[in-house]
Structure 1
Amino acid sequence: MDASEIMVTLGGLALAAFVLWYFFFSARQTAAAVSTSSGVQEVAVTVKGGYSPDIIEVERGKPVQISFYRDEENSCSEELLMPDFSIRRELPAFKTTMVELLPQQAGKFEFTCGMGMLRGSLVVK
């Protein structure tokens, strides 16, 4: 193996390590829903290459209203799936889509884009 092959191999390993760190070990944004005077828990999520915040904390037994603002035209983010709540919504580009649900059980519930590449979770306490 000559020097250029060693450099390419090391570069590939470094890139693979970065991808693993980014998707599995990097810090995630967490947001607790804010309760309104009517008892509805509200939170706003921006969709742009991912969900921000990507972890939403809510209380069990209280209605939740999540507003998803899609700030891009990437086809991956045009659909939202929340299978545990039987929710499937189209997210039009540069518009806000409201999702309402009533979590009855505590736990962690995943939500994804239609392709399963963008991921977030709803943590019910």
Structure 2
Amino acid sequence: MDTTAVIVTIVGLSLAGFVLWYFFFSARQTASAVSSSSGMQEVDITVKGGYSPDVIEVERGKPVQLHFYRDEENSCSEELLMPDFSIRRDLPAFQTTLVELLPKEAGRFEFTCGMGMLRGALVVK
């Protein structure tokens, strides 16, 4: 192996490590739901290359309303899947889609885009 091959291999492995860190281990933006006067826990989530915030904390046993605003036309973000709550929603571009649910048990519940590339989590306490 010559010097060029060694450098290309090192750079390739470094980039692969960065991608793994970014998607699976980097710090996530966390938001707590705000309770309205009706007792509904509400959170605004922007969808643009990911979910922001991507970790949402809510209380168990209280209804939750998630407001997903899709601020892009990227085909990856056009669908939302929340398998633990049997929810599948189309997210039209430049519109807000409401998702309502009632978390009955504590835990961490993942949600993704239709392709599984964009990820977020609902943390029920």
TM over 0.5: yes
Aligned to 1:111: 111
Matched residue SS, 2:16: helix
User: Partners in 1 of 2:4 and 2:83 — Cα distance?
Assistant: 48
Matched residue SS, 1:76: helix
Matched residue SS, 2:66: strand
Aligned to 1:70: 70
Matched residue SS, 1:39: coil
Report the CA distance between 1:17 and its aligned residue.
Answer: 1.2
Q: Kindly report structure 1 stretches of 4+ aligned residues shifted beyond 4 Å.
A: none
Report the CA distance between 1:75 and its aligned residue.
Answer: 0.6
Matched residue SS, 1:42: strand
User: Partners in 1 of 2:25 and 2:107 — Cα distance?
Assistant: 21
Letter of the 2:80 counterpart: L
User: Partners in 2 of 1:100 and 1:24 — Cα distance?
Assistant: 27
Matched residue SS, 2:13: helix
Structure 2: stretches of 5+ with no match in the other structure: none
Matched residue SS, 2:27: coil
Report the CA distance between 1:86 and its aligned residue.
Answer: 1.2
Give aligned pairs, total: 125
User: Partners in 1 of 2:21 and 2:119 — Cα distance?
Assistant: 15
User: Partners in 2 of 1:46 and 1:114 — Cα distance?
Assistant: 16
Aligned-pair RMSD on alpha carbons? 0.8
- Residues 57-104 of structure 1 show CA distances to partners (whole Å, capped at 9, x for unaligned) of 000111100000001111111000111111110000011001011111
- Aligned identity (percent) is 81
Aligned to 2:14: 14
Report the CA distance between 1:14 and its aligned residue.
Answer: 1.0
User: Partners in 2 of 1:118 and 1:17 — Cα distance?
Assistant: 18
Letter of the 2:101 counterpart: L
Are residue 81 (structure 1) and residue 81 (structure 2) matched?
A: yes
Structure 1: stretches of 5+ with no match in the other structure: none
Q: TM-score, normalised by structure 2?
A: 0.96
Matched residue SS, 2:111: strand
Matched residue SS, 1:19: helix
Are residue 52 (structure 1) and residue 52 (structure 2) matched?
A: yes
